[in-house]
Chain A
């Protein structure tokens, strides 16, 4: 599904290298988790994969189902099935949440050469998905993320993911700022989407989320590299001992 090889990234504006050769291979149908200290480059990697401006790729490749991701516009990446649930979801005053969802869904369909969804089908879909995430009609009407609580914003990200049904889902600290109930809702939302054709990359600091969304592989990122990979037990090790042991062991 997603193949990253030797990915090196610096800031466009500054001479600051952030990713220093990341290798990551995610097969279809699997869940990978990335953990790592703050500032190690996890968000940067997810932004670069989704096509945000301000970064310069100085080396390496990233492909989605064999296609060069880095050559595509952000909207094309989305249409090909890449989705990023933002660590900090963006507020868009003046654009209603429903309009945002419908515009996104239809734009992706158009880019893929598919028919637009009918208003009736759209409403049915959004109502069903919103209900599962306990997102009420009021939240759907409000401008995108404006005045939403932290937890509401994260649930709104998962709603978008459920509506767009992407192939490769990257979740950047979707669990931070969530209480136990919200965490359960979000995890259920993610688990409902798990299938053989869909992969997840879950960025988190906490074992807690991984209790709900069981990963196949866990990676530790530090200082712009993936320094260790292993099974779910690696996340438990981080939970108990922090990063210090792992980092000193690989240093």
Chain B
């Protein structure tokens, strides 16, 4: 263990040399704690079991590897929606491209203003779920985030706002390194939809903490930007009270390296959490979904649905765990991770795990890796659909189960169109 810790601490020391702790105000104590946690863990290492399939070095490096800014002609997703838009350019809040941070039913604050205001509810949340998520598995990049995040959006949901809050991330500087930390507290009876889209930065470290009180509802739809060379390590930490709902869907197209961790803990009975992802990679693409769901309450339902389409040597990773504690009876846990390999060069690495201590539970998991169904392809072609179009139709069909996890039909349709567009651009 000690032998392994040394390089992790060395990596941390190198990284810390290029970072400075922001003026924290109410968040100062949480940042200081995070820094000391981090000091005990060091940064992730290739020999860590949890980083077996994804190399952490470029996520750790003192400087963000450069990433060319992608020039696409498409209008960004969600643009046409009625929403409260909040824009960050290379991790810096841009008031010009943002709406006033006001919406009936919620209050919105910025982490960067922590020095000037005391926000008690945020103080009780900031870094708290991240700490809880550090056991049983260490997540050093999340601790790093809590300590050094330069900004973020803090949302207190007391009602049901009329439109979603939409975080838009723009990448402009090829060397940008962004660290943002958002926190959402959904009070009893509150309901909110959070949208996120855009490539954010050359390297993006993001944490989202979501605390859903009894009966609260949280919906999340995210589209990770199309920049080919960007890197991202993101964490979602969610805590669910009684009869609460949490639904998170992520679409990832392109990006040279993405690690999305999602840590969910049920603390109240009868709650529901669904987390899903559809990712599509072409060429130099490495996409890792790492999910940890802890059932510590009775009669809760969790679903993990992850689908990856991989071509031209792209790599997909899934590490998913369902932990059912001794008293979490009547747990319904489901997990599926599947890849569609469009050629022999692409690969999918999956590590599904169940750890169950309660006796009255229904948990299932499955993981598959396969190619396009040749018989279905022939059937479609025999009806007049050309090969590439038929292949795309079957690819979208493969992703459909993940998209079904988006509750709002118009959002699901918008995401489907984006996936279709991604495929269509590769048709020839």
Contact = CB atoms under 8 A, between A and B. Distances in A.
A77 B401 CA distance: 33
A33 to B, nearest CB: 21
Interface in B357-394: 373-376, 378-387, 389-390, 393-394
Given A92-B397, A94-B397, A95-B397, A78 B376 contact: no
A75 B387 contact: yes
A100 B380 CA distance: 8
A53 B378 CA distance: 8
Interface of B: 373-376, 378-387, 389-390, 393-394, 396-401
Contacts of A100: 380, 383
A51 interface: yes
Output the residue of B375, B376, B379, B398 with the most chain A CB within 10 A. B379
A197 B376 CA distance: 30
B424 to A, nearest CB: 13
B375 A90 contact: yes
Contacts of B385: 75, 103-104, 107
Interface of B (DSSP majority class): helix
B382 A78 contact: yes
24 contacts: A51-B382, A52-B378, A73-B381, A73-B386, A74-B381, A75-B381, A75-B384, A78-B381, A78-B383, A90-B375, A90-B376, A90-B378, A93-B397, A94-B394, A94-B396, A94-B398, A94-B399, A99-B393, A104-B383, A104-B384, A104-B385, A107-B384, A111-B384, A160-B383
A90 B385 CA distance: 15
A62 interface: no
B264 to A, nearest CB: 26
B400 A94 contact: yes
A164 interface: yes
A103 B373 CA distance: 18
The 3 tightest CB contacts between A and B, nearest first, are A94-B397, A108-B384, A104-B383
A50 B397 contact: no
Interface string A71-89: 0011101110000101001
Contacts of A91: 376
A111 B387 CA distance: 13
B381 A92 contact: no
